[in-house]
A = this chain, B = another copy of it.
Amino acid sequence: MPSDHDTILALIAETGGAGLAEQVRFIIEVDRLKGIVRQSPVIGADRNETDAEHTWHIAMMAVVLSGFASETVDVMRAVRMLLVHDLVEIDAGDTFLYSSPEVHAAQEIAERAAADRIFGLLPGGQGAELRALWDEFEAHETPDAHFARTMDRLQPFLLNVFSDGIGWRKHGVRASQVRTRMRVVADGSAELHTLVERLIDLSVARGYLADG
């Protein structure tokens, strides 16, 4: 952290208390989510989206698609979970959804360390609450986590479908890989999972996605 940031944060602590200074430090730190570039395209643009853009988009999707949740969900609690779900990538980076199991296992360890550090910037009770939401998202056991995960998986899928499969074609992704990865969508929404299956068929037919 630059030394001028320390000076500013000291003034904030003096004016609004140590808790506020910790919260502003967290707010400044998580600005770095805008620097994490994902593998998913921005539709019609010659670049990929950032994690911050992705997070806004899935929060917006959760509001719009809440009627399709298979279980009873607290949509705004799912949104709260989504707002923090990718913060760990500030330290751990983004892993492409179709990487090897080894890559995913190493990523999981790095993400837990990142969660300790980043949520640890906040005052105790607040840091613990948001960390618990992140843990809940990762555990994928509750209705809110199921629905949140459904949005998180559906969004890059839709971006690819509406961009002629540009991300899939670049990585040579096959339909069977997408079907496997998208199975968790069914935990949050049976109807949206049915839609995904149909859109995979269409994507193969149109050459967005390799068959088999």
Contact = CB atoms under 8 A, between A and B. Distances in A.
A132 interface: no
Given A28-B43, A80-B76, A33 B56 contact: yes
B8 A202 contact: yes
Contacts of A43: 28, 31-32
A43 B35 CA distance: 10
Contacts of A199: 8, 11-12
A31 B42 contact: yes
B195 A15 contact: yes
A161 B31 CA distance: 13
B162 A8 contact: yes
A12 to B, nearest CB: 6
B56 A164 contact: no
A44 B130 CA distance: 26
A59 B81 CA distance: 12
A76 B187 CA distance: 24
A195 B23 CA distance: 13
A77 B28 CA distance: 24
A195 B158 contact: no
Contacts of A195: 12, 15-16, 20
Interface stretch (A60-68, A90-98, A140-148): A60-68
Nearest to A27: B61
Contacts of A65: 23, 27
B34 A53 contact: yes
A171 interface: no
A117 to B, nearest CB: 16
Contact of A8 (B23, B30, B59, B161): B161
Interface of A: 4-5, 7-8, 11-12, 15-16, 20, 23-24, 26-28, 30-35, 42-45, 49-50, 52-53, 55-57, 59-61, 63-65, 68, 76-77, 79-80, 83-84, 122, 126, 130, 158-159, 161-162, 164, 191-192, 194-195, 198-199, 202, 206
